[in-house]
Amino acid sequence: MLEVGVKAPEFTLPDQNGDVHSLKDYQGKKVILYFYPKDNTSGCTKQACGFAERYPQIMEKGAVVLGVSKDSVKSHKNFETKYNLPFTLLADPELEVIKAYDVWQEKKNYGKVSMGVVRTTYLIDETGTIIQAIGKVKAVDNPQQMLEML
């Protein structure tokens, strides 16, 4: 996980509509950048719906939400449509940004070891500096936690 106080790594990724987003596009706003394992899974759906529910309040505080996983643009579009998600989902199938933010790690599940995305959320300030870094995030609690940090 990246440390609080460091400059957030710049990135450019396509969203659920195929439009390209870069971190620099959001200068002047706070960014909740959350990394999650997979579209349409139980925890990831709860987390995304939690952010969707709180999105108006997050925007009132001058922030945006960007969700990142290794799923495809098409998968993100289906996820967005199914749950009516009002924020941007970024596709990183090459794991470039996922690795840059140090969230591609060894995971243990029922004794089986594999590599995967560790659910992690970063709060990035208006100048592109990481001001909060939360690892091993609880999917259900994370959206409210981030709203309170704003």
- Please report, as a single letter, which amino acid is at residue 56: P
Going by C-alpha positions, the residue among 88, 85, 105, 78 that lies closest to residue 12 is 88
H-type alpha helices, the chain: 42-60, 73-83, 96-100, 142-149
Determine whether 49 is an active site residue: no
Q: Which residue shows structure tokens 């939360």?
A: 134
- Active-site hit among 44, 52, 65, 130: 44
Contacts for 133 with CB less than 8 Å, ≥ 6 apart: 1, 2, 3, 4, 120, 121, 122, 123
In the structure encoding, which two tokens stand for residue 66, read together? 């960007």
| Cα gap 116→145, rounded to integer Å | 23
In the structure encoding, which two tokens stand for residue 128, read together? 């592109």
* Residues identified as active-site: 44
